Copies of this chain bind each other. A is one copy, B any other.
């Protein structure tokens, strides 16, 4: 996952011409196939479309995930760089955050299956997962810190968690007309909001109904033994 783009210690020449050509072809073909068939296209199909052998793919991209990362590297970078710009443009850090999150959602939701594969667990895609979060979570943290300081949102939510939540909400977007990821992300971001900026924080016990909107967020663990481990 490290330095896929950079030439590795040019001993004689930078890189053989055919290697450069093949790598570029692979990136182009993969980008095109990701659009038409989703990021789940098999390595074999990418290789075939590019007119190279499977071994060539793995020579340039040690893992399928590395190829995906390389294809979307620029877009992730663009999204990350938009962070400070938006933060400076808006008087309200919350508004800037909402705008930036939409940027991220638009990126994820328009790539078939990208969000599906961005989840951790599958060790093969951990690299992809880490790359996106390592690059974007710090940007998000800036938004959150500013918004908390301005009293616009409740404290206690971490950027990593929020980004993963947004990413998860994007799963399946574009394949199901009855599922609108953007709408749900809006819901999530709205839930972040501290309704009355200078209200007293509610630190009482189990929150109910009316007060649910204004307390800070903390983990609470399982509270419902109603459904326990038991087979049907």
Where the two chains meet, the residues of A that have a C-beta atom closer than 8 Å to any C-beta of B are 27-28, 31, 35, 70-79, 82, 90-92, 94-95, 98, 102-103, 106-107, 110, 113, 116, 119-121, 152, 157-158, 160-162, 164-165, 168-169, 171-172, 175-176, 178-180, 182-184, 186-193, 195, 208-210, 212-213, 217-220, 222-224, 226-227, 229-232
Q: Which residue on chain B has the smallest CB distance to residue A78?
A: B227
Q: Which residues of B contact A180 (CB under 8 A)?
A: 161, 219
Nearest Cβ on chain B to A36's Cβ, whole angstroms: 11
Check if B169 sits within 8 Å of A169, measured CB to CB.
yes
Q: Which residues of B contact A121 (CB under 8 A)?
A: 113, 116, 172, 175
**A189 to B218 Cα, complex, angstroms:** 15
Q: Which residues of B contact A230 (CB under 8 A)?
A: 74-75
Check if B227 sits within 8 Å of A187, measured CB to CB.
no
Q: Which of A79, A110, A209 has the most CB of B within 10 A?
A: A209
Number of copies of chain A assembled together: 2
Nearest Cβ on chain B to A120's Cβ, whole angstroms: 6
Check if A165 sits within 8 Å of B161, measured CB to CB.
no
From B73, B119, B161, B189, give the contact of A178 (CB < 8 A).
B161
Q: Which of A77, A98, A121, A168 has the most CB of B within 10 A?
A: A168
From B35, B184, B210, B217, give the contact of A183 (CB < 8 A).
B217
Q: Which residues of B contact A98 (CB under 8 A)?
A: 209, 212
Q: Which residue on chain B has the smallest CB distance to residue A112?
A: B121
If the complex has contacts A120-B175, A121-B116, are A106 and B227 also in contact, measured as CB distance less than 8 A?
A: yes
Check if B178 sits within 8 Å of A193, measured CB to CB.
no
Q: Which residues of B contact A120 (CB under 8 A)?
A: 172, 175-176
If the complex has contacts A28-B231, A227-B103, are A164 and B179 also in contact, measured as CB distance less than 8 A?
A: yes
List 10 A-B pairs, minimum CB-CB distance, nearest first: A74-B232, A191-B191, A73-B232, A190-B191, A187-B191, A95-B209, A92-B209, A31-B231, A165-B184, A168-B168
**A10 to B143 Cα, complex, angstroms:** 64
Check if B229 sits within 8 Å of A110, measured CB to CB.
yes
If the complex has contacts A191-B187, A213-B190, A227-B103, are A160 and B182 also in contact, measured as CB distance less than 8 A?
A: no
